[in-house]
Amino acid sequence: VEHTFSIIKPDATKRNLTGSVNAVIEKAGLRIVAQKRVQMTRAQAETFYAIHRERPFFGELVDFMVSGPVVVQVLEGEDAIVRYRDVMGATNPANAAEGTIRKLFALSVGENTVHGSDSRENAAIEIAQFFAGNEIV
Ligand code: ATP
Ligand code: MG
């Protein structure tokens, strides 16, 4: 069984969609084994998305991620990392498949409702940034 890290982004918390997103996650058979609502600091957002530091949209991305509360989560399941990426849908909601979270809820490539880890290595790093081991149950 595998763990992945998820963020319900500010566009979703602003529109009161936390429960709607969680319903899609749970319907897909992923289990929410840790969850908290936090206001990310600019430093936290910059660290979290450090891999995109040189991209032209980095400033916009950090501004967005601190524009309101987010819900950080650990999801558990068989092949949770790849399966959650499937449930999320494509980064740009215009390209997202029917029934995916981004097709259902995302507003744009920037305001795209959720984050999910893209590898085992990154999942471990991202989970450790927000959760202690005894918070994952
Ligand atoms: P995430 O890492 O948030 O799960 P992703 O893996 O689908 O998304 P990445 O390529 O890692 O996509 O980009 C990280 C985030 O940066 C995207 O989710 C999106 O919010 C933002 N982003 C990516 N490309 C653009 C762009 N062209 N313009 C604005 N924002 C972008
Ligand atoms: Mg990514």
* 109 pocket-lining for ligand 1 (C-beta < 6 Å): yes
Percentage of residues of the chain with pLDDT beyond 90:
100
- Residue listed under structure tokens 């499937």: 86
Residue closest by Cα to atom 31 of ligand 1: 110
* pLDDT band for position 57 (cuts 50, 70, 90): very high
pLDDT at 45 (0 to 100):
98
Q: How far is the CA of 112 from the centre of ligand 1 (A)?
A: 8
Q: In sequence order, what are the residues at sequence separation of 6 or more whose Cβ sits closer than 8 angstroms to the Cβ of residue 72?
A: 5, 6, 7, 35, 36, 38, 130, 131
Can you tell me the mean pLDDT for 97-122? 98
Q: Is 115 a catalytic residue?
A: yes
pLDDT (tens digit per residue) in 2-31: 999 999 999 999 999 999 999 999 999 999
When pLDDT is averaged across residues 58-76 and rounded to a whole number, the result is: 98
102 is in an annotated binding site: yes
DSSP string, 11-73: HHHHTT-HHHHHHHHHHTT-EEEEEEEE---HHHHHHHTGGGTTSTTHHHHHHHHTSS-EEEE
Q: What is the mean pLDDT of the chain?
A: 98
What average pLDDT does this structure show over 42-69? 97
Predicted confidence band of residue 65 (pLDDT cuts 50, 70, 90): very high
Please name every residue paired with 8 in a beta bridge, in sequence order, or none if there are none: 71, 114
| Cβ pair 87, 22 in contact under 8 A | no
Nearest CA to ligand 1 atom 3: 115
> For a pLDDT cut of 70, what percent of the chain falls above it?
100
Check pocket membership of 112 for ligand 1, CB cut-off 6 A: yes
Give the pair of three-digit tokens for residue 66: 């601190």
Length of the chain counted residue by residue: 137
- Confidence (pLDDT) at 105: 98
- The residue annotated as part of the active site, out of 64, 115, 116, 127, is 115
Q: What is the pLDDT of residue 79?
A: 98
Q: Assess whether the C-beta atom of 61 lies below 6 angstroms from ligand 1.
A: yes
Q: If you measure from the C-alpha of residue 52 to the centroid of ligand 1, how many angstroms do you get, rounded to a whole number?
A: 9
